[in-house]
Amino acid sequence: MTIAPVDDLEILRCPHCGGALEAVAGGARCSAGHHHDRAKQGYLGLRVAARGLGAPAAGDTADMVDARERFQGAGHHDSVAAAVRDAAVAALAGSGVRDDGWVVDLAGGPGWHLGHVLDALPGMRGLVLDASTIAVRRAQRSHPRAVAATADLRARIPIADGAAALVLKVFAPGPAAEIERVLTPGGVLVAAIPEPEHHRELVQPLKLLKVPAGKAAELVASLPGLQELARTTVRETVRVDRAGALDAVFMGPNAFHQKREQVETALAALPEPLDVTVAVTVVTLRQPG
Ligand SMILES: C[S@@+](CC[C@H](N)C(=O)[O-])C[C@H]1O[C@@H](n2cnc3c(N)ncnc32)[C@H](O)[C@@H]1O
Ligand SMILES: [Zn+2]
Q: For 31-51, how does the pLDDT look when each residue is reduced to its tens digit (9 = 90+)?
A: 999 999 999 999 999 999 988
- From ligand 2's centre to the CA of 14, what distance in Å? 5
Locate the domains of the chain by residue range: 57-286
pLDDT of residue 5: 80
In this structure, the strands spanning 125-130 and 102-106 are parallel
Whose CA is closest to atom 10 on ligand 1? 172
- pTM metric for this prediction: 0.97
| 151, burial (CB in 10 Å: exposed 0-12, middle 13-18, buried 19+) | buried
Residue 130 CB–ligand 1 contact under 6 Å: yes
Q: Do residues 191 and 218 lie in contact, with contact meaning Cβ atoms separated by under 8 Å?
A: no
For the domain bounded by 57-286, which CATH number is listed? 3.40.50.150
Averages of pLDDT over each 10 residues, the chain, 289 residues: 79 97 98 98 96 94 98 98 98 92 98 98 98 98 97 95 98 90 97 97 94 96 97 98 97 94 95 97 97
